[in-house]
Amino acid sequence: MDINTDKYLYPYQYLHSNKYLYIHWSPTITNTPTPTLTLTSTPVLRPVLGGPYPNPISTGPMNLSVSVPGTATVKWSVFTLAFRKIVGGQTTITTQGLIQWDLKDKSGVRVADGVYYLRVEVDGIQSVVKIFKILVLR
């Protein structure tokens, strides 16, 4: 039996992971399929911003994960629905990082319930600007 083994090499991507699973069938040795596991890291080619979590939020800090290729400066600002800036910050991230907002304004007072906009700007090898909506509830 002549079998082309190239057509039996399939990549499968795990959910919530940067790993790949390759299953390779080698029927020439035992005439039965033999899966071989190979995990390969996938490099980050452009900035990736995860959504703010938890959202809606009632207590604790709001978190936002950031993955960048190399080193980048991340600037973030929180605005009201009227686009009044209430707080902001800046941090330098190498490869992966986390932005946290403690639900307080510039004065250190907890913000009122409502909808807010989170603007995140990544300056580095590749620049990205993204705006998220956040719902604050008590």
pLDDT tens across the length of the chain (138 residues): 444 444 444 444 334 444 444 444 444 556 666 666 666 666 667 888 888 888 889 888 999 999 888 888 999 999 999 999 999 999 998 888 999 999 999 999 999 999 999 999 998 777 889 999 999 997
- pLDDT score at 21: 47
Picking from 126, 119, 38, 40, the residue whose alpha carbon sits closest to that of residue 78 is 119
Cα distance between residue 91 and residue 52, in whole Å:
17
Q: 55 and 101: one domain?
A: yes
22 and 90 together in one domain = no
CB contact at 8 A, 57 and 111:
no
59 shares its domain with 112: yes
Give yes or no for a contact between 28 and 2, defined as CB atoms under 8 angstroms apart: no
| pLDDT at residue number 46 | 81
By the 8 A CB rule, do 33 and 12 touch?
Answer: no
Q: What is the CATH number of the domain that holds 114?
A: 2.60.40.4070
| Angle, CA of 131, 135 and 137, to the nearest 5° | 160
Q: Tell me, yes or no, whether 91 and 117 share the same domain.
A: yes
What total of structural domains would you count in the chain?
A: 2
pLDDT at 104: 93
Same domain, 61 and 38: no
Domain housing 29 = 1-42
Return the pLDDT at 13.
39
